[in-house]
Structure 1
Amino acid sequence: MVEYVDTLVVGAGQAGIAMSEHLSRNSISHLVLEKHRVAEAWRSRRWDSLVANGPAWHDRFPNLHFTTCAADAFPPKEEVADYLNSYADMIKAPIRAGVEVTSLKRKEGRSGFTVATSDGVIEANSVIAATGAFQQAVIPPLVPERAGLTQIHSSSYRNPDDLPGGAILVVGAGSSGGQIADELQRSGRKTYLCVGPHDRPPRAYRGRDYCWWLGVLGLWDIPAKEPGTEHVTISVSGAQGGRTVDFRRLAHDGMTLLGRASGFTEGKLLIDEDLKDNITAGDANYIDMLDQADAYAERMGLNLPLEPEARTMLPDPECLANPIRELDLEAEGITTIIWATGFRQDFSWMKVDAFDASGAPLHQRGVSPEPGIYFLGLPWQSRRGSTFIWGVWHDAAYVADQIAIQNNYRDYSPETATAAAAE
């Protein structure tokens, strides 16, 4: 038996929940399918000690506050998952969990889509892919399995005790890699960290969190990254109450910093000669943020405490002054590599003409050129803040409005228009 729904939302994480709220606001009948539990990624695809990268007052939906932590605190991952569940309950989102979507295709010769699921077939006029930005973990084929090392992606890491004994190499120094490497070092493990190009903002400055500064400076709403910076990661952390990521400090505490890993031969990891450049560019990004904040505070006459010590840099550690170009893994006692190398999107289940040659979605603020297909939760979908809880909520409002507009066109007929005008 085929089930019919006007609009189908695939995914019940933060994107799917936000989408449901705005569809209901527009009186659009819909169903949300989730192959696991609501907000599953927060529970099972994150390490044990993870906290949100934004403070509770900021990284939330507009209509519900966190009640389990202070406004300036960084909620642990389980609290974030519980918050999303509570929000879904509050808005009475029509979520059906434990149902996986396996394929989607357009109906032949008429509007709408046929969606195959693990619980039967659903037909829908519109489909929103709200599966988020973190779908398939990426591990570069750099170090072969025959090297005899434990190799895992950062999404599979849980805690230091779960790893084999020995030193650990973390590849990738974004928010995940930097926090994991710091945790491993603080647990007593000898840790190596490959640091690529990155932005390194202050966690807080002059008594205000980084998220606040981005807001007042209008930087959350910039529509796209500068050319050449599309793949530059951001090193920011809410761990340990929220501290600015400082790679020099990590090195002075015992961590060995490396440039980007570029090859592997005869048991040795080959390292690019880019560590100094990457650290220098990250420092420049940090100082630029301080400069913008100071200029704004002066222009607006804000009585915020000065913080001149924020501009003081530690001296270069040995691993930065004389970067390592080859790392003999066995000689250094390295038994585990954690690849904090990001994710790729997977929309292979969508058999529609809505993607470019690389498989990336074609869209304008989530609206696909394929009529009836929409996306939500994509990085930079409309602005810098699109992957944050509050950002995806605003993107969902736009997508829901576009669906409502199309539904009005779909339902138009001269007879109904005349009757409505006569009322």
Structure 2
Amino acid sequence: MTKNITQIDTLIVGGGQAGVAMSEHLSRQDVPHLVLEKNQIAQAWRDMRWDSLVANGPAWHDRFPGMEFPNCGGDEFVPKEQVADYFKAYAEKFNLPIRTGVEVKQVIKNTGGSGFCVETSEGAIHAQRIVCATGAFQIPTIPAIAPKDPELYQIHSASYRNPEQLPQGGVLVVGAGSSGVQIADELQRSGKDVYLSVGLHDRPPRSYRGRDFVWWLGVLGLWEAQANEPGKEHVTIAVSGAYGGQTIDFRKLAAQGLNLVGRTDAFADGTAYFRNDLADNIRAGDENYLSLLDKADEYIARNGLDLPLEPEAREFLADPQCMTQPTLELNLKLNNIHTIIWATGFTCDYSWLQVDALDENQMPNHQRGVSSEAGVYFLGLPWLSRRGSTFIWGVWHDAKYIADQIVIQRQYQHYRAQN
């Protein structure tokens, strides 16, 4: 692809899994397009993940339909480097027009005609359509309650790589979604004294009665839920493919030696303060877990499936002391805590997108990825169209829908009345 392109039908911003999926679908429908990626293809899988990370879904499920993971069994959980390599190989297999090392700096409407003017690090491009495929994990967020203590080593989970990178002493991990719980578990296994701050979470079984939870969500139709349950907008999911794939069980983590505390509320004078909600949060996760087991059992009975019984899946350890006698405050220095890891999520940055496609909070204003600004589309966001949008395969299907919308608009634009 020549570097001097100045006009294109559709410009895709971002060359991660969303941009690769979008490019494949547009290529299949012969839509002229270009993908611009400021780093390398799927670079976030390499740079914004810790060394030991594996995909949270098994290889048979967490992939695009057009290619399997090489040298990996279907029920294995693929290491992050292989995931990044997969997307690079996928782009090469389908000969996708992706240019790396090019940053999009600004997108504005073309005042002299249709489409948009795009300022990039390698010059200007005119595009009829823009697909924002930069995803949801752009800017790591650390809450304002973080202590202003220069003696504390504080990083976001996006900057964590391995236990050796941290100073001597204990660690407080704030946030018990998939990232936080896996990092805390790894640090505790390495010999560190670790406190894990646990908020509200969903806790699916890794597998049940011989099937991974991604299979259960599929056959039960739960991947197709089109909106999160009210009140659960900020509830994280505690699931992991680490160590061959295991159900996250906070009682077992406590028995293993992890110190569990409730949601982090504040810091003052070298002390962390926690809400008295640990037991409630863990039991709410139990309810979510048992609810899926109930739905699975009903499905098996209704369909006459011969899947092995698993009564032990409903057995919990006794509540640990951290639940019955919770720690509500922790003097960091007295407890030798020298590191805080903030597993507190990300926010988006669309400051480069200077068109009427964002709401009052500068977040995408869209329906299934079709924005309020004609010709602008979003892809790679959680709940873009359904619960499954978060997963690799869900991005691929969302991209197919958006590609179809682009093709429809092109047909309208190319219409010429017959005289």
Q: TM-score range by the shorter chain?
A: over 0.9
C-alpha separation between the residues in 2 aligned to 1:283 and 1:331? 33
CA contact (8 A) 1:102 1:117 kept: yes
Question: In structure 1, the residue corresponding to 2:126 is in which secondary structure?
Answer: strand
The equivalent position to 2:233 in structure 1, one of 230, 233, 238, is 230
Cα deviation digits, residues 61-81 of structure 1 (max 9, x gap): 011111121110000001101
TM-score (norm 1): 0.97
Partners in 2 of 1:79 and 1:295 — Cα distance? 37
- How far apart, in 1, do the equivalents of 2:55 and 2:225 lie? 22
1:131 to 125, 131, 134: 134
Question: Where does the alignment leave 5 or more consecutive residues of structure 2 unmatched?
Answer: none
User: What's the offset of the Cα at 1:273?
Assistant: 1.3
> Where in structure 1 are there 5+ consecutive unaligned residues?
419-423
Among residues 289, 294, 298, which one is paired with 1:291 in the alignment? 294
Q: Residue in 2 aligned with 1:140?
A: 143
Question: Which of 263, 267, 273 is the matching residue for 1:264?
Answer: 267
Equivalent position of 1:64 in the other structure: 67
Question: Distance in 1 between the 2:157 and 2:265 partners?
Answer: 19
Q: 2 CA distance for matches of 1:68 and 1:383?
A: 31
SS in 2 for 1:414: coil
- TM-score normalised by structure 2 residue count: 0.98
**Are positions 1:360 and 2:376 aligned together?**
no
Shift of 1:142: 1.4
Shift of 1:369: 1.6
The residue that corresponds to 1:282 in the other structure is 285
Distance in 2, matches of 1:114 and 1:240, equals 48
* Cross-structure match for 2:198: 195
Q: Which residue of 2 aligns with 1:421?
A: none
Aligned-residue offset at 1:110: 2.1
Q: 1:147 deviation in Å? A: 5.1
> Once superposed, what is the RMSD of the aligned Cα atoms?
1.0
Alignment size in residue pairs: 416
Does the Cα contact within 8 Å between 1:147 and 1:267 map onto a contact in 2? no
Out of 290, 302, 305, the residue aligned to residue 305 of structure 2 is 302
Structure 2 CA distance for aligned equivalents of residues 120 and 321 of structure 1: 62
Superposition deviation, residue 386 in structure 1: 0.5
Q: Corresponding residue for 2:414?
A: 411
Q: How has the CA–CA distance of structure 1 residues 75 and 2 changed in structure 2, closer, same or farther, with 3 Å as cutoff?
A: closer
Q: For 1:238-257, what aligned pairs fall within 5 Å after superposition? A: 238-257=241-260
Q: Could you list the per-position Cα deviations for residues 237-287 of structure 1 after superposition, in whole angstroms to 9, with x for gaps in the alignment?
A: 000000000111111111110111111111111111111110010011011
> 140, 151, 156: which is aligned to 1:153?
156
In the alignment, residue 22 of structure 1 is paired with which amino acid?
A: H
Which residue number in structure 2 is paired with residue 384 of structure 1? 387
Residues 169 and 334 in structure 1, CA contact (< 8 A), matched pair in contact too:
yes
Q: Tell me which of 24, 35, 42 is aligned to 1:32.
A: 35
Quote how far apart the aligned CAs of 1:320 are: 1.0
CA distance in 2, matches of 1:332, 1:141: 23
Equivalent pair of 1:2/1:120 in contact (CA under 8 Å): no
For the Cα contact (< 8 Å) 2:147–2:268, is it kept in 1? Answer: no
- Overall identity of the aligned pairs, in %: 62
Q: Per the alignment, in what secondary structure is the counterpart of residue 23 of structure 1? A: helix
In structure 1, what is the Cα distance between the partners aligned to 2:235 and 2:396?
25
Aligned mates of 2:5, 2:108 — CA distance in 1:
15
Q: 2:123 aligns with which of 99, 120, 124?
A: 120
Q: Is 1:213–2:216 an aligned residue pair?
A: yes
Q: CA deviation at 1:141?
A: 1.9
How far apart, CA to CA, are the structure 2 residues paired with 1:254 and 1:312? Answer: 20
What amino acid is the match of 2:278?
A: L
Write the deviation string for residues 146-195 of structure 1: whole angstroms up to 9, x where unpaired. 35200000000000011001000000000000000000000010000000
Q: What corresponds to 1:99 in structure 2?
A: 102
Give the Cα–Cα distance (whole angstroms) in 1 for the partners of residues 265 and 71 of structure 2. 44
CA distance in 2, matches of 1:143, 1:365: 35
Once the two structures are superposed, what CA deviation does each residue of 1:302-351 show, in whole Å capped at 9, x if it has no partner? 10000000100001111111111111111110000000000001111000
Change (3 A) 1:237 1:186: same
In structure 2, what is the Cα distance between the partners aligned to 1:264 and 1:78?
A: 37
How far did 1:2 drift?
7.0
Aligned-pair CA distance for 1:143: 2.7
Query: Aligned partners of 2:280, 2:94: CA distance in 1, in Å?
Result: 48
